Structure 1
Amino acid sequence: MAIDLSETLVIGISATALFDLSVADGVFNQQRKNDPDSAMEHYRRYMLENESQPLPDGTGMPLVKALLALNDHKKADDPQPIVEVVVISRNSPETGYRVLKEIRRRGLNITRSAFTAGEAVTHYLDAFYVDLFLTTNEDDAQRVIDTNQCAAAVMRPPPTQAFQCTETQVRFAFDGDAVIFDDTSELINQTHGLDAFHQSEDERQDIPLEPGPHAKLLIKLSKIQERLPGRIEYSPVRIALITARNSPAEMRVIKTLRNWGVYVDEIFFLGGLQKARFLKAFNPHIFFDDQDAHLDPAASDVPSAKVLYRSTSALNAVMHDKIRQKNKSQPD
């Protein structure tokens, strides 16, 4: 009988998000500069020669280990795992052997994987029931966002500062607009200014915000909390919403979450304060945001990932135009 993972939180993760393969990638990229025709063979040989060497943690490793530990809380009469992690990689099966060997060496309970030898991996996310796809490949993440298959994010490099995560909880930190919620409100902020944004949100506080690219993930996490033992306030899954919004734009957020039936443990309405300061205190296993201005200072302290805009989004065009204008204004 086929296995159904529809009630399980399924994380799809690339090999480069799970492990730090930056040295191997550097070998491939350098050879591609020198001799593109031989780059793949050179990379294959490097991976074979080093397949017994341990791989360091990638940015997604703390999250994966903490999520897999949630299965220890599964009730005896619950037939489905709480969490499933699937490695979905552009490596070939041959070069992916090193990844599989490292998974076994670490004793990670990851039993499913796919290696596509350079082909896009996004075709297989639905087949694996993936709720969240974590990758270092921006093209793959963009394809997922554009097709609305599932939540997706581009992982930043691992934190440069010592990162000590709690082992008794899995901690998620989400931005609000353009991540949990759609980008309509943020578009007003970017095109008409903060005052217009505040007025619009206050006037529409009784109208729920539309779901954003990570809304389904948040709702799935809320359902996972219900499957776990104990009161939800003491759940081994803890969720924080960390947003640049402040009053009078805060009420619409809380009313929207109520409308969705979603429980969030902590909300921070920061009104322009740097998110990194609060993230360092909350200490999440992963932080999702759409703007580099928030991700850059946070990524040195906590695992962080960028949520891309849809290619056809008006906000995407506005933000790219602002970047171009900023680059033009800078001296050569």
Structure 2
Amino acid sequence: MPVTFDGKLVVAISSRALFNLGDSHRVYMEEGLEAFQDYQIEHEDDVLSPGDAFPLVQKLLAINDLEEGRGRVEVILLSRNSSDTGLRVFNSIEHYGLPIIRAAFAGGASPHRYVSAFGAHLFLSTDADDVREVLNAGYAAATILSGAQLQQQDDVLRIAFDGDAVLFSDESEQIFQSGGLAAFTENEKRSARTPLSGGPFKPFLTALHQLQTSFAPERCPIRTALVTARSAPAHERVVRTLREWNIRLDESLFLGGLPKGEFLRAFGADVFFDDQQGHCESASEHVAAGHVPHGIANRKKQGG
């Protein structure tokens, strides 16, 4: 029988998000590809230190150790290295005991095209251009920002999401950007019973929710939260949309524009996904953050 990922949560991650490759990347930027290749081979037995997404990956893979989650999570390495220079990465994976067995080494090219080939629900990278390509192809993706790492003492994986332009489309954000808060609020009141369209992270949230339902609520190793700048009365449309999708979020925080960082720390987020670069930078002072360069706010920044 052929191997399939049916029923699995599949996450693809770049080598620089998983490990700290700062030294070798500097060699590449300052001295070129050949010097980089020589450096990687010379240091292939030197274990790499964990990168910004390493703790998240550890918790994801630990779900496979639980009876209800056995074999339900797959993490795949996507790298610009060649298989030759990437040996150091796989040696480090083995050193940390990470059960990552599948990889695509793109030999200097962007590996983003393999996200669809593997059917990944999420792609994490430090390369913003690769992340945009994956989002444009219709898959969830985020640029991991360097920042604070919460050291949780338990094994529960906590993932927090912004709403508009992440879980939901940016249709309401467009109204806010063009007409201001009053126009946004009036539209959300008028459309309270009309579900929002799905954003780039809806399929990932759906797969995550399906994995959660494998566990009894009191034993579930995953908690999710919506952390949004929305407040009443704009909350109703969000609640009804999630009900229409038949997706449960464990916690929902409607902050009415308050800074999100302290609330993310209180939730204990292992990662927070937001479309606003400024929100991500602020959140990264407290937790790991992933910027989702999607929607009208990011099109404006890119001059589109």
Alpha-carbon distance in structure 2 between the residues aligned to 1:146 and 1:50: 36
Alpha-carbon distance in structure 2 between the residues aligned to 1:6 and 1:29: 40
Q: Secondary structure at the match of 1:212?
A: coil
Match of 1:112 in 2: 102
User: TM-score, with normalisation over the residues of structure 2?
Assistant: 0.95
Gaps of 5+ in 2: none
Call closer, same or farther: CA 1:154–1:93 in 2, change over 3 Å: same
User: Post-superposition shift, 1:6?
Assistant: 2.3
User: Post-superposition shift, 1:286?
Assistant: 1.1
User: Post-superposition shift, 1:9?
Assistant: 0.2
User: Post-superposition shift, 1:126?
Assistant: 2.3
User: TM-score, with normalisation over the residues of structure 1?
Assistant: 0.88
Match of 1:35 in 2: none
Match of 1:156 among 145, 168, 190: 145
Call closer, same or farther: CA 1:162–1:138 in 2, change over 3 Å: closer
Match of 1:47 among 40, 51, 66: 40
Farther-moved stretch of structure 1 (127-136 vs 11-20): 127-136
Q: Secondary structure at the match of 1:176?
A: coil
Q: Secondary structure at the match of 2:118?
A: coil
Match of 2:119 in 1: 129
Q: Which has the larger radius of gyration?
A: 1
Match of 2:176 among 189, 198, 222: 189
Farther-moved stretch of structure 1 (50-59 vs 174-183): 50-59
Contact 1:290 1:307 in 2 (8 A): yes
Aligned counterparts, 1:2-151, within 5 A: 2-31=2-31, 39-75=32-68, 81-148=71-138, 150-151=139-140
Deviating 4+ runs (over 3 angstroms): 313-322
User: Post-superposition shift, 1:321?
Assistant: 5.4
Alpha-carbon distance in structure 2 between the residues aligned to 1:211 and 1:6: 22
Alpha-carbon distance in structure 2 between the residues aligned to 1:162 and 1:257: 29
Gaps of 5+ in 1: 32-38, 323-332
Q: Secondary structure at the match of 1:122?
A: coil
Count of equivalent residues? 304
Which digits, 9 at most, give the CA deviation of each residue in 1:278-313, with x for residues without a partner?
Answer: 11111211110011221111112211111012xxx6
Q: Secondary structure at the match of 1:171?
A: strand
Contact 1:169 1:238 in 2 (8 A): yes
Alpha-carbon distance in structure 2 between the residues aligned to 1:321 and 1:128: 32
Match of 2:160 in 1: 173
Call closer, same or farther: CA 1:171–1:314 in 2, change over 3 Å: closer
Call closer, same or farther: CA 1:259–1:162 in 2, change over 3 Å: closer
Identity among equivalent pairs (%):
40
Contact 2:17 2:52 in 1 (8 A): yes
Contact 1:6 1:129 in 2 (8 A): no
The answer as to 2:207 corresponding to 1:217 is no
AA paired with 1:201?
A: E
Q: Output the aligned Cα RMSD.
A: 1.7
